[in-house]
Structure 1
Amino acid sequence: MNQPRWKKRPEGSNWGDFGSDDQLGRVNLIGSEQVLKGVKEVHEGITFCLSLPLDIPGGKVLNPRRSPPRLSPTALGDDLYINFPLATHTPTLRDVISDDQVHISLQYSTQWDSLAHVGALFDGDDDGKPECRYYNGFLAEQDVLNLSQKPHQQHDSYAQRLGVETLAVHGMQGRAVLVDLVRVFGGGRTLVGYAALMDALEHLDVVVERGDMLVLRTGFAEALLDMQGSPQPDVLKNTGAVLDGSDQALLEWITESGIAAICADNYAVENLDRELAPDCCSKLPLHHHCLFKLGLPLAELWYLKDLAEWLHSRGRTRFLLTAPPLRLPGAIGSPVTPVATV
């Protein structure tokens, strides 16, 4: 049996519970039983696309590091393969080919975070010297690599462990439960802690069980889509519910509930606006708890309005969710086109 790569694990974490070399975390709970539970929620064979167009939000207003997609033709020498005639022996019957490529930030629009997205400085060796680690103790520069200063490398960064392809191979298909926070709190900015979430679950008659993927509609993506590629930060700052990652009771509920993933239609799932003292804690406490401690992946900027309205009209909250990321080895995150089947 492999030995853990750490002597001490973070308080409240599940490092090692799924094995010392585990890279899936709570996704391990999405097994065949959860797939069958999801299939049982398919009554009418109707599907909903839960992705925004991947050029939304638009520009770099929401995150100056992330670029929208830029399409271009593939090329061979000076030939650009867009409306390109292929030579044949019959000049009047030539095929025309178009073939393209894209440059995109993988977490620009509708996305999954991999477990390599957020780590922390943590003294896993228990020697008084914290190391930069990720879920299950995987190490920066050993397991999650920065290769940008090393010539002759195929990539400039590479997650040798915890890359998003692990989620793709697993499949990310199973039963999901929608919590329509818009129906409870409206479309304005609401900070949702444990008490507010429990009130919402009761109000909506939602039951969440172990292995379910929790899907949160806040209205943020709908407002973003209405802005047609020109995001208005002042408006968006006051739009949609966000989880209160500083609420310890909420974090404990996430642990105890057994949910396998959290998918939301907002940016970052949690509140990014809280002020921190200079010696304070994590800027992203929910990311820290979910990605770093539990190995529970997060998804952002999904489009949920049409699905939510359909489910509400039929008094339902559950559906089959199929949402594998790209099988792109070493990637930290991935665009995704989630499909709900009802």
Structure 2
Amino acid sequence: MVVSRREFDALFDAVRTWGRWSPADRGAWNRVTEDRVRRATGTVRSGRVVPLALPWNTVPGPDNPRPALHHMTDLGDVQSPEPATHKDFIAADYHGKAVTHLDALCHVSYRGRLYDGRTAKDVVGAAGARFGAVSALGPLVTRGVLLDLPAVLGIRWLEPGRAVHAQDLLAAEQALGVRIGEGDAVLLRSGQTRRRTELGAWDPDTASAGLHVDAVPLLAERGIALLGGDGDSDVRPSPVDGVHSPVHALVVAAMGVPLLDNLDLEALSAATDRAGRHEFLLVVAPLNIPGGTGSPVNPVAVL
């Protein structure tokens, strides 16, 4: 379903939460109070910890044009008193399709404005961002909900280009026996990681399963605090002419909701299926980077 730019702009204004919270650069994460975190710990029953990050990817490919770096800087042969040490160096241009990362609120602007109406060119510069940086978020701990679309549909994965609409989210809730609530982190599994493992890499910038913009009002109505998936949440090709990542614009710039991109949800899919429940405690600890537009992360789900 194609959405005109005029319709998209009206949708942006409809889900916008500018001026609602203080501090504003935490956006929707202000919904997650200490009491909500305490209640989220009640979802832990077995104590099983499931990591959700992809391996550090140093191999070039159609989905990894700027590979992460990893090399050794000390092999233990430097002349020094005992003990010998082994050291390495890592780096990543992580805003892409290959590194599991968190998008902070300063990462996305629309019509020149960041979340809360801040002018992007005024608050983001060569030294980083003075508003909406990842350092303003800190560790993120809340109830997580997995919407496992392939499991609901009885398929191995959603094909690239498959849009997930609001009715798909509602059907997944009913089938999985879970309901998205205020302050939740919603994780959408398309099966992209499994498809890549079995069929090989492709360019998800041109074709990826993900949310259609018509699903965003439901997430706004439910009051989510974090959104993530095994892609970057946007369906591609984009249904909005001239807007490559419309869900990013709506969720981050309008709603003030951080995004988790490029999760590995395969182990979590298996674990929630075995447990017979699709809620869990989610813990995300971004690096403390003042002015940072996000951070590589290794989120964990605790069942």
Instruction: State the TM-score, normalized to the length of structure 2.
Output: 0.86
State the shift of 1:225 in Å: 4.1
State the shift of 1:96 in Å: 1.8
Report Cα offsets for 1:72-109 as digits up to 9, x if no partner: 344xxxxxx33233434xxxxx4322222222112341
- The residue type equivalent to 1:311 in the other structure is T
Q: Within the alignment, does 1:295 sit opposite 2:256 as a pair?
A: yes
Q: Using the alignment, how far apart are the partners of 1:271 and 1:320 within structure 2?
A: 27
State the shift of 1:262 in Å: 0.8
Residue equivalent to 2:201: 231
Residue equivalent to 2:67: 68
Residue equivalent to 1:214: 186
Q: Within the alignment, does 1:46 sit opposite 2:48 as a pair?
A: yes
Aligned with residue 175 of structure 1, among 137, 143, 165: 143
Change (3 A) 1:10 1:83: same
Change (3 A) 1:275 1:303: closer
Report Cα offsets for 1:259-313 as digits up to 9, x if no partner: 11111012x211121365xxx4533221111111110111111111222222222
Residue equivalent to 2:130: 160
* Count of residues in correspondence between the two structures: 286
Residue equivalent to 2:106: 116
Report Cα offsets for 1:30-83 as digits up to 9, x if no partner: 121221122111111111111110217x4152264xx22212344xxxxxx332
Could you tell me whether the CA contact under 8 Å between 1:86 and 1:95 is conserved in 2?
A: no
Change (3 A) 1:283 1:305: same
Q: Using the alignment, how far apart are the partners of 1:332 and 1:294 within structure 2?
A: 17
Unaligned runs of 5+ in 2: 1-11
Q: Using the alignment, how far apart are the partners of 1:339 and 1:258 within structure 2?
A: 22
- The residue type equivalent to 2:251 in the other structure is C
Secondary structure of the 1:326 match is coil
Residue equivalent to 1:306: 267
Percent identity over the alignment is: 26
Q: Using the alignment, how far apart are the partners of 2:187 and 2:158 within structure 1?
A: 18
- The residue type equivalent to 1:180 in the other structure is D
Report Cα offsets for 1:316-340 as digits up to 9, x if no partner: 1111111121111222121110111
Could you tell me whether the CA contact under 8 Å between 1:320 and 1:340 is conserved in 2?
A: yes
RMSD (CA atoms): 2.4
Could you tell me whether the CA contact under 8 Å between 1:116 and 1:162 is conserved in 2?
A: yes
Residue equivalent to 1:192: 164
Change (3 A) 1:82 1:172: same
State the shift of 1:237 in Å: 7.1
Q: Using the alignment, how far apart are the partners of 2:75 and 2:135 within structure 1?
A: 30
Report Cα offsets for 1:174-207 as digits up to 9, x if no partner: 1111111111232132311111221221122221
Could you tell me whether the CA contact under 8 Å between 1:25 and 1:294 is conserved in 2?
A: yes
Q: Within the alignment, does 1:256 sit opposite 2:258 as a pair?
A: no
- The residue type equivalent to 1:114 in the other structure is A
Aligned with residue 95 of structure 1, among 58, 73, 83: 83
- The residue type equivalent to 2:226 in the other structure is A
Could you tell me whether the CA contact under 8 Å between 2:128 and 2:291 is conserved in 1?
A: yes
Which structure: greater helix fraction? 2
State the shift of 1:10 in Å: 4.3
- The residue type equivalent to 2:86 in the other structure is S
Could you tell me whether the CA contact under 8 Å between 2:210 and 2:235 is conserved in 1?
A: yes
Could you tell me whether the CA contact under 8 Å between 1:85 and 1:95 is conserved in 2?
A: no
Residue equivalent to 1:59: 60
Change (3 A) 1:327 1:46: same
Aligned with residue 273 of structure 1, among 203, 220, 237: 237
Residue equivalent to 1:140: 120
Q: Within the alignment, does 1:339 sit opposite 2:303 as a pair?
A: no
Report Cα offsets for 1:122-174 as digits up to 9, x if no partner: xxxxxxxxxx22001222232111x2xxxxxxxxx51121111222x2x2111
Could you tell me whether the CA contact under 8 Å between 1:188 and 1:238 is conserved in 2?
A: no
Instruction: State the TM-score, normalized to the length of structure 1.
Output: 0.77
Instruction: Please give the residue correspondences for 1:237-252 in structure 2 after superposition, counting only pairs within 5 Å.
Output: 241-245=209-213, 247=214, 250-252=215-217
Unaligned runs of 5+ in 1: 1-8, 75-80, 89-93, 122-131, 148-156
Q: Using the alignment, how far apart are the partners of 1:237 and 1:119 within structure 2?
A: 21
Residue equivalent to 1:85: 78
